[in-house]
Amino acid sequence: MIKNNLQMFTRGVKVLIKQDSGIASKLPLRFKAKIFLLCLSMLSASACADNKLTPNLEAGKQKSAICGQCHGIDGIAIIPIYPNLAGQKQGYTELQLMAFRSGQRINAAMTPHARNLTDQDIVDLAAYYASLDPRGKTKDEK
């Protein structure tokens, strides 16, 4: 996908640069700039989309051992001041962990842990907690 968009981008730039190509030389500069920006945005959007990580629930479960000390082994917090993670939406958990890791969000308990997480760790943990029952029940108890 990136290769196709890169080829489209390259063709668009060639059309913009080549002044003797008939129609391209008659287009207003503002229109040429819009075409250029459109090609550039398509290229950058596809670059972001191709980096999607695949969650691994088993890896998330293993990585959650340290999280369980505050958030509970089953994702139900054992300390009242900490949030439950069981059933939390994956995207939300990913955003929060990234914010802790980057320092955008600071918490004495979470920031040090999040700084050690890779992107894959974050995806795995978020998917694992999203897969848990928010009532704390196991599959057998449902």
Q: What is the pTM of this model?
A: 0.63
Dihedral sign for Cα atoms in the order 88, 122, 73, 103: negative
| pLDDT given for residue 51 in this prediction | 61
Same domain, 36 and 14: yes
**90 pLDDT higher than 70:** yes
Instruction: Summarize the confidence of residues 89-107 as an average pLDDT.
Output: 97
The one-character DSSP state at 82 is S
**44 pLDDT higher than 60:** no
Residue 38, amino acid: L
At 1-43, the pLDDT tens digits run: 444 555 555 565 555 455 445 555 667 777 666 676 665 566 5
Query: What's the longest Cα–Cα distance across the chain?
Result: 73
Contact between residue 84 and residue 74 where contact means Cβ atoms under 8 Å apart: no
Domain housing 13: 2-49
Contact between residue 123 and residue 55 where contact means Cβ atoms under 8 Å apart: yes
Same domain, 111 and 62: yes
Q: Is residue 120 part of a domain?
A: yes
46 vs 25, more confident: 25
